[in-house]
Amino acid sequence: MRAYKNSEIDFMRAAKDYIVFPLDVPSLKEAEQYVVLLSEYVGMFKVGLELFISSGPEIIKIIKKSGTAKIFLDLKLHDIPATVSRAMASIADLGVDFATVHCGENKKMLEAAVAGSCGKVGVLGVTVLTSVSSKDIHDAGFRSEFSSDMSRLVIKRTVMAKEAGCAGIVCSGLEAEMIKEKSGKNFIVVTPGIRPSWDGMKKDDQERTTTPAMAVKNGSDYLVIGRPIRDAKDPKEAVIRITREVEAVLQNDE
Ligand code: C5P
């Protein structure tokens, strides 16, 4: 099994490198508008199910042509190991930087994803979605040790992902610090559920949210920030404001 080499997070990173903008739009045309508008201002674009199902791999070429932003193909695979391995091999051929698989119930699916990636794409395990609450975990039949403290489930799944050879995991900013302590600084932590503390900011369907500053202080390497940017009156201005918040944390850390 070839391990994915993470060369980036060892080096000095600019605040914009932390910002991941998900292209959560229904058409290639709208996605392209955001790519043109934001490619100089974000470190990575995330392509998710909505856009990939409607438009396929064309968007990958558009992002690559637009500049140096990285690409995260977030299809959150969850299937039998053979299918996941073959799907990840197809993803690896697209030339993206990261791709996701659910941590799920056992390590075999994660190992299959890593084997399929052939070291060409960083495999990220999705631990527990940030839209999921303790009550959801309880109602889904998990033991009370996990529903009373969801970070235990996040840790359990992080250990599985690390042992399977994943490059990192996706979790809420609330758990980032604990994961970095347990898994080491080179194990990548990606956090969605980011909500700046601006007037009128909505949580939407997110449960376990953090501000950009809090997520970076807690050790997140990448912040997935969608609606607060996409739905802002001026998305570019929103990205710049968030980047300044991240920059202030990085400067305090020096
Ligand atoms: O910031 P916002 O809530 O709009 O972010 C939504 C994006 O974050 C979606 O692209 C969704 O797929 C992604 N997400 C994720 N993992 C989670 C929660 C959301 O990748 N746990």
Rounded mean pLDDT of the chain?
93
Q: What is the pLDDT of residue 8?
A: 47
Locus of tokens 């758990």: 175
Closest CA to 120 of 247, 1, 239: 1
Q: What is the pLDDT of residue 10?
A: 43
Ligand 1, closest atom to CA 128? 21
How many angstroms separate the alpha carbon of residue 138 from the centre of ligand 1? 22
Q: Give the separation between CA 56 and CA 8, rounded to whole angstroms.
A: 28
Q: 100 is written with which tokens?
A: 């996701």
Residue ranges of alpha helices (H) inside the chain are: 28-38, 49-55, 58-66, 81-92, 107-117, 134-139, 144-147, 150-164, 176-183, 212-217, 227-230, 235-253
Tell me the pTM: 0.93
Per residue in 135-187, pLDDT tens? 999 999 999 999 999 999 999 999 999 999 999 999 999 999 999 999 999 99
Q: Which of 18-22, 60-64, 120-124, 126-130 has the lowest mean pLDDT?
A: 126-130
> Ligand 1 pocket check: which of 24, 44, 224 to mutate, most ligand atoms within 8 Å of Cβ?
224
Q: What is the pLDDT of residue 6?
A: 57
Domains in the chain: ranges and CATH: 7-253 (3.20.20.70)
The residues annotated as belonging to the active site are: 76
Per residue in 89-100, pLDDT tens? 999 999 999 999
Instruction: Fill in the amino acid letter for 37.
Output: L
Closest CA to 98 of 197, 13, 8: 8
Residue 75 has pLDDT above 60, yes or no: yes
Contact 167, 4 (CB under 8 A): yes
DSSP 182: H
